[in-house]
Amino acid sequence: MVLLSNSSQLIGAVFAAATALLYAARQQSLSQTRRIAWLLIGLSNVAWALGQGSYLYYDAVLRVEVPCPGWPDAGFLAVYPLLWAGLILLFGSVPVAGRARLLLDNVLVAGAAGILSWCFLVQPMWTQSHVGFLSKLVYCAYPLADLGTLFCALVLAGAAARQAGPCRSCWPRGPRCWRSPIPLVDCRGDGPVRGNPARGAHRRPAA
């Protein structure tokens, strides 16, 4: 059961990496910034796949205890800077107006989660006397890096919610396209419609 779970994580990471890299390479409508962002997100999944693959090699092939720190940790921890860089580039395509408020709102959320993480995860790990200094750094890096990922995801989701508008092809459905609530990919490639529908800034597409 453990082997099946670990193998499924490896397969999922390979699939996610292939999907993101193919999207970055073949989607012609992407700007250069978003293309690089999706490339970095794909590479972060490659790093996870390498970490998971080396973990499986130690556990299932060599049948030894997985070392910590070791090659699996190198792959897992390499995920975070690549993923953060990709998410930051996606956030960089958001208009400047409202960025400060988005950042502040999500700093408060991530800060509260950080306090809980420090009290219940990081501090108990750091005070373990039988673990070496380098192992402590690796153990504590995971929850702290997860907090950074949570912050980036919250900022991106908040920015996408502010930026989302109804697609021209989905205008009859109301103020938000049900197919693509986060405007990273347009539902039919014709982009969101800007403006205030109450003032006639939108128009229905021709039949």
Average pLDDT for 81-98: 76
Q: Residue 191: pLDDT band by 50, 70, 90 thresholds?
A: very low
Model pLDDT, residue 181: 40
- What the block records as the tokens of 64 is 């030894």
Q: Which of 22-26, 116-120, 171-175 has the highest mean pLDDT?
A: 22-26
- What the block records as the tokens of 143 is 């929850």
Whether residues 73 and 18 share a domain: the answer is yes
Whether residues 3 and 23 share a domain: the answer is yes
Whether residues 20 and 5 share a domain: the answer is yes
Q: Residue 3: pLDDT band by 50, 70, 90 thresholds?
A: confident
Cite the DSSP H helix spans in 29-164: 32-56, 71-92, 99-117, 123-126, 133-163
Whether residues 82 and 138 share a domain: the answer is no
Whether residues 44 and 9 share a domain: the answer is yes
Whether residues 135 and 82 share a domain: the answer is no
* pLDDT, tens digit, 9 for 90 and up, residues 138-189: 888 898 888 888 888 887 777 666 655 555 444 444 444 444 444 444 444 4
Whether residues 78 and 132 share a domain: the answer is no
Whether residues 89 and 141 share a domain: the answer is no
Average pLDDT for 7-14: 90
User: Across the chain, what does the average pLDDT equal?
Assistant: 75
Higher pLDDT pick, 25 / 117: 25
Q: Which of 171, 172, 173 is CA-nearest to residue 191?
A: 171
CA end-to-end span of the chain: 55
Whether residues 104 and 86 share a domain: the answer is no
Q: What is the 3-state secondary structure (H, E, C) of 26-67?
A: HCCCCCHHHHHHHHHHHHHHHHHHHHHHHHHHHHHHHCCCCC
Among 93, 121, 136, identify where a domain stops. Answer: 93
Whether residues 204 and 170 share a domain: the answer is yes
pTM: 0.68
Q: Are 83 and 54 in contact (CB under 8 A)?
A: no
∠ CA 183-45-25, nearest 5°, is 60
Whether residues 46 and 133 share a domain: the answer is no
How many Å apart are CA 173 and CA 165, to the nearest integer? Answer: 11
What are the phi and psi torsion angles at 167 (to 5°)?
-70, 150
Among 78, 93, 108, identify where a domain stops. Answer: 93
∠ CA 207-193-150, nearest 5°, is 135
Q: Which of 199, 49, 99, 148 is CA-nearest to residue 57?
A: 49
Q: Residue 74: pLDDT band by 50, 70, 90 thresholds?
A: very high
Model pLDDT, residue 171: 45
Among 68, 93, 118, identify where a domain stops. Answer: 93
Q: Are 143 and 121 in contact (CB under 8 A)?
A: yes
Domain span holding position 202? 164-207
Domain count across the chain: 3
How many Å apart are CA 126 and CA 128, to the nearest integer? Answer: 6
Average pLDDT for 183-201: 45
Q: Residue 40: pLDDT band by 50, 70, 90 thresholds?
A: very high
Whether residues 122 and 36 share a domain: the answer is no
